[in-house]
Amino acid sequence: MILWLNPVTGVSGDMLLGALIGLGAPLDEVRAAVESTGLAGCRLRAEQVQVDGIAATRAVVEVDDTSTERRASELLARVRQARPEPVAELAAAAVRAIAEVEGALHGQHPDDVHLHEIGGLDTVVDTVGVAAALHALDVTAVHSAPLALGSGTVRCAHGLLPAPAPATLQLLRGAAVVGTDLPGETVTPTGAALLQAAGTRFVPPPAMTVRETAYGAGTKRFAQRPNVLSATLGAPLTAEPVEPMVVLECNVDDVTGELLGHVIDRALRAGAADAWTTPSTTKKSRPAHVLHVLCHPNREAELTELVLAETGSLGVRRHPVDRRALPRRTTEVTVDGHRIRLKHGPWHTKPEHDDVAAAADALGLPLRTVAARALAAER
């Protein structure tokens, strides 16, 4: 499945978790993944709330140990215990990204860096919970619109810092962002790290069939817009099948037009998917034609012999091609007692020429009149 996010007020770990639960990620499975880390004294629940008239899901995390400062290595060891294994890998990638950025900013090894605001156990719940929800929803690709960045300042253990905070900006390398007049922090380090760990691509909505849309609620309230994260789950569009085919070709400069028409007719009756000629000039500046025959590989030998025998050519070229075949169907209508088949594709309907010509002949009407009547009868 494809997940497409529209973070018009940014993203945080709990907003993303709420949106995924709203999309249908089973809360019991998410809780089980968090519990598999061995974390005690934490509770996760989901609330249905209204945010400026929009129904949204808020992920509420409660922990008995409310300390927000820990070594990154402690959080990393905890999330690596999560099960199933893909959940642990994604959650660990997010925590490791935070540790590496903080370590680089403070000149410390990632294992030794001391996390302040994001060192709480709720970070374990957010990262493991989001990873478990993505796994439960079978999300294989995450896409996002540009992230809305706040302005002003954000208060942290190191004092007042410009928003976004330095760690967040480092975690946003490669992400698409857009500035806003929203005050303070709109993209949290945990939210940015989770998007990075999930391999998020910042592109327009991909081609998909929309299945569900949900909203994850943030805790802040903005006067300018609802603080919700829009999340849409979709299935990739299935492309039309591509068939392996073969094109047979030969140059002919000593046959008549009647013979070329005969060869094309015979090739089509023998199972060719298509056959045609193109004018050309060959050696000694002779005017000639190139005969082309498109066929499935299992018809290649038979059609090669047919072309050689009918044209007298001393050789046939062949090259493999792929044909993308759009779906089609055939229906029938009656025009003044005459049966006419119509071929329908995704974008066009066309009456069969032979049927139209026979009816026009019998009725004494112009070809285009009979074709128009056939289309009108179908409608």
Residue range 203-258, pLDDT digits in tens: 888 889 999 999 999 999 998 799 999 999 999 876 556 788 999 999 999 999 99
Average pLDDT, stretch 101-116? 77
- Looking at the predicted structure, is the pLDDT value of residue 277 above 90? yes
Question: Over the stretch 64-85, which tens digit does the pLDDT of each residue have?
Answer: 887 777 888 889 999 999 999 9
| Domains along the sequence of the chain with CATH | 2-236 (no CATH), 242-324 (3.30.70.1380), 329-378 (no CATH)
Question: Over the stretch 287-321, which tens digit does the pLDDT of each residue have?
Answer: 999 999 999 888 899 999 999 999 999 999 999 99
- Looking at the predicted structure, is the pLDDT value of residue 119 above 80? no
For the chain, the C-alpha Rg in angstroms (whole number) is: 33
- Token pair, residue 135, equals 């796994």
- Token pair, residue 220, equals 């802040």
More confident residue, 263 or 67: 263
- Looking at the predicted structure, is the pLDDT value of residue 101 above 80? yes
Question: Over the stretch 314-339, which tens digit does the pLDDT of each residue have?
Answer: 999 999 998 887 777 889 999 999 99
Average pLDDT, stretch 34-62? 94
Residue from 290, 298, 296, 294 nearest 247 by CA:
294
Question: Over the stretch 341-371, which tens digit does the pLDDT of each residue have?
Answer: 999 888 889 999 999 999 999 999 999 999 9
Average pLDDT, stretch 40-69? 91
Sequence-separated (6 or more) residues with CB below 8 Å from residue 75: 95, 115, 119, 123, 124
Q: Could you tell me if 123 and 39 are in contact, meaning their C-beta atoms sit under 8 angstroms apart?
A: no
3-state helix, strand, coil in the chain (%, to 5): 35, 35, 30
Looking at residue 158, its pLDDT comes to 60
Looking at residue 114, its pLDDT comes to 62
Looking at residue 135, its pLDDT comes to 96
Looking at residue 324, its pLDDT comes to 82
SS3 sequence, 240-287? Answer: CCEEEEEEEEEEECCCCHHHHHHHHHHHHHCCCCEEEEEEEECHHHCE
More confident residue, 115 or 215: 215
Which amino acid, residue 78? R
